[in-house]
Structure 1
Amino acid sequence: MNFREAEPKDAEAIGRIRVAAWRAAYQPFMPKEFLKSLNAASKLSELRARLANQNSDFTLSVAEEQGKVVAFSIVGKPRHDAAPKTIELWAVNVLPEHWRMGIGTSLVERAIAFSSRSGFNSIELWCIKGNTPAQETYKKLGFIESGRERSSSRLTGITLHELHYAKAL
């Protein structure tokens, strides 16, 4: 497995991975119609532009197997209120056929290392309540549930409940 910073040429693969991972992982949490409507080609030009200008506000890493991108993670500026010198793990998505191989764990470990090297004091994330595999991975890597929760229906039209996790660096 090869891990590297994503490049603009990876945008299509990232879009496909996001759709496949969401459709497989979020069936219990999101409406089937919403998951069916996901479009891997959506916002690719915006993603390519962001990949060409990565910094501590947005950094995307990929995992490759035999030259094929099979997973990605995103860290960036917190999208919600956060303590100073905090960065957020926005996403970890792995193609379902590559689940339970340690790829997601490796991407989270890389995000933690990047955040520490970049001078942040902590890394945080929000995880859908009930997404037990993800919650177990984060806890195993030293993330602690803070007790903060949020709920929103903005994304899917139904209310999603999320739990906040944080890790001191």
Structure 2
Amino acid sequence: MNRWVCVLRSAVPEDAMAVARVHVRAWQAGYRGLLPEEYLDGLQTLERADRYTFHLTGDGDPATTVALDRAETVCGFVTTGPCRDDESHAVGEVLALHVDPDRWGQGVGTVLIGAARARLAGAGFAEAVLWVLAGNDRAERFYRRDGWEHDGATRGEVVWGAPVDENRYRAILIDRSRKIEDHPEFSGTDIL
């Protein structure tokens, strides 16, 4: 059996366009029917790439890990940092996790969420939160399988004039942190 392998590494500024391509494609596929069609169809890779801050590497800055396939093409990414909600300093956050739709179901997301847990635990966070667009059943199943639980918090946003809700999920990191090297899909280094 030919096993698919990805390499993880920290994002660098030169990754911005490739990460933006994954980001836009993942939103257009994953949020179809949840966000306004006009908004999704109008997403632009260049505009998204200009928003990234991969050059900032301080303790309080978001950190992005990219997954590369054998051709060294970015096929997914995860961004972590301190929790943006009114939480204690012991809570980190998964700010974004997106996989190119062509790689869905191949283990990339599993490796990335493992890397996120490891990075956050390594930064001293005891637990973490993340927000999932209400109705995104695929994402909710994915996070529940990884041990995340909806903690009851919700928030409302407006995207292109359409109200949307998000549900917050929470996971304990210290007791459940997994060494990324233990993931069978993992073959890289330089993630922490």
Normalized per residue, which structure has more helix?
Answer: 1
For residue 22 of structure 2, give the secondary structure of its aligned residue in structure 1.
helix
User: 1:44-72: CA deviations, max 9, x gaps?
Assistant: 3452xx21222443000000002111111
The alpha-carbon distance between structure 1 residues 110 and 52, as it changes in their structure 2 partners (threshold 3 A), is same
1:77 shift after superposition: 2.5
User: 1:115-145: CA deviations, max 9, x gaps?
Assistant: 1111011110010111111111111111111
State how far apart, in whole Å, the 2-side matches of 1:129 and 1:101 are. 24
Summarize the alignment of residues 132-147 of structure 1 with structure 2, pairs less than 5 Å apart: 132-147=137-152
State how far apart, in whole Å, the 2-side matches of 1:148 and 1:113 are. 24
The equivalent of 1:88 in structure 2 is 93
State how far apart, in whole Å, the 1-side matches of 2:110 and 2:87 are. 24
State how far apart, in whole Å, the 2-side matches of 1:74 and 1:58 are. 6
In the alignment, which of 119, 136, 153 is matched to residue 131 of structure 1?
136
State how far apart, in whole Å, the 2-side matches of 1:25 and 1:45 are. 22
The equivalent of 1:158 in structure 2 is 162
State how far apart, in whole Å, the 2-side matches of 1:89 and 1:53 are. 17
- Which structure 2 segments of 5+ residues have no match? 1-5, 174-192
AA paired with 1:51? F
User: 1:27-53: CA deviations, max 9, x gaps?
Assistant: 111011000111100153452xx2122
State how far apart, in whole Å, the 2-side matches of 1:122 and 1:55 are. 20
In the alignment, which of 39, 43, 63 is matched to residue 59 of structure 1?
63
Tell me which structure has the larger Cα radius of gyration: 2
For residue 115 of structure 1, give the secondary structure of its aligned residue in structure 2.
helix
State how far apart, in whole Å, the 2-side matches of 1:44 and 1:126 are. 21
User: 1:47-106: CA deviations, max 9, x gaps?
Assistant: 2xx212224430000000021111111111222222331111011111111000110111
TM-score (norm 2): 0.82
AA paired with 2:115? R
In the alignment, which of 123, 135, 143 is matched to residue 118 of structure 1?
123
Summarize the alignment of residues 6-85 of structure 1 with structure 2, pairs less than 5 Å apart: 6-42=11-47, 44-47=49-52, 50-56=53-59, 57-66=61-70, 67-85=72-90
The equivalent of 1:109 in structure 2 is 114
- Identity, in percent, stands at 30
How many residues end up aligned between the 2 structures? 166
State how far apart, in whole Å, the 2-side matches of 1:16 and 1:43 are. 8
- Which structure 1 segments of 5+ residues have no match? none
For residue 45 of structure 2, give the secondary structure of its aligned residue in structure 1.
coil
